[in-house]
């Protein structure tokens, strides 16, 4: 283990995917059940024992995490968290419930699953926020459009009957001045005058700049 890993119990070293070379070599000569003995020593604050545990498990931890998380950068972060968990919670290992390696790998798998779920929930929250914003915009536009229609309707009601009919036929019906005049039975000049006066009144009522 590097010098940075030989720190007091509260500050174990950073994550190194390959682990400590010396610790790994020592681990290859250890008995199958010695990892549990090492964890017992880690629980008592033994930094050397932690170095040995680190060297034996770092690669496997990263492998398990990467198989779940997929993203290499996030996987290294999660693996670091797992190895810190081993340092902090070694006293929770119970050899009667399973092997030490199984305990460490279970920690790794749980951490990896938690990270994936956390990322999924974050993505779902962003999607809900985006959907809410879209819905809000749609409602706002609908309300504004309805208010505009009501304002137009109210202002149209302030026109004389001839003005209202002329404007409605010309702007909503698409008729020409002459066609409006024929439909209403009045002179074309009268239609133009009534429409001009009606549009001026609508402009003032709606508060539209000239």
Q: pLDDT tens digits for 50-73?
A: 999 999 999 999 999 999 999 999
In terms of CATH architecture, what is 157-206? Answer: Orthogonal Bundle (1.10)
Tokens coding 58: 């770092």
Q: What is the DSSP letter of 32?
A: T
For 95-102, the CB contacts below 8 A with 24+ separation are 95/36, 99/33, 99/35, 99/36, 100/33, 100/35, 100/36, 100/38, 100/39, 101/35, 101/57, 101/60
What is the Cα–Cα distance from 107 to 109, expressed in whole angstroms?
Answer: 6
Residue 84 CA to chain centroid, in angstroms?
A: 27
Nearest to 197 by CA among 173, 172, 161: 161
Going from N- to C-terminal start, the domains of the chain cover 3-123, 157-206
pLDDT tens profile 23-46: 433 343 445 568 999 999 999 999
Same CATH topology for 3-123 and 157-206: the answer is: no
- Architecture of the structural domain at 3-123: Orthogonal Bundle (1.10)
Which pTM value belongs to this model? 0.50
């Amino acid at each position: 283990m590097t010098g940075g890993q030989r720190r007091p119990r509260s500050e174990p070293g950073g994550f190194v995917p390959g682990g400590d070379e010396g610790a790994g070599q020592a681990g290859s000569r250890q008995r199958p059940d010695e990892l549990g003995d090492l964890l017992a020593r880690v629980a008592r604050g033994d930094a050397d024992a932690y170095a040995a545990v680190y060297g034996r498990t770092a690669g496997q931890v990263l492998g398990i995490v990467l198989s779940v998380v997929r993203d290499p950068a996030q996987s290294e972060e999660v693996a670091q968290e797992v190895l810190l968990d081993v340092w902090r919670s070694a006293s929770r290992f119970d050899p009667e419930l399973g092997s030490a390696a199984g305990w460490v790998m279970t920690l790794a798998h749980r951490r990896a699953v938690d990270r994936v779920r956390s990322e999924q929930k974050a993505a779902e929250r962003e999607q809900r926020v985006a959907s809410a914003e879209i819905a809000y915009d749609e409602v706002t536009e609908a309300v504004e459009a309805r208010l505009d229609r009501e304002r137009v309707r109210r202002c149209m009601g302030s026109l004389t009957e001839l003005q209202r009919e002329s404007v409605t036929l010309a702007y909503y019906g698409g008729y020409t001045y002459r066609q409006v005049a024929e439909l209403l039975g009045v002179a074309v000049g009268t239609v133009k005058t009534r429409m001009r006066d009606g549009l001026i009144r609508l402009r003032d009522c709606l508060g539209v700049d000239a």
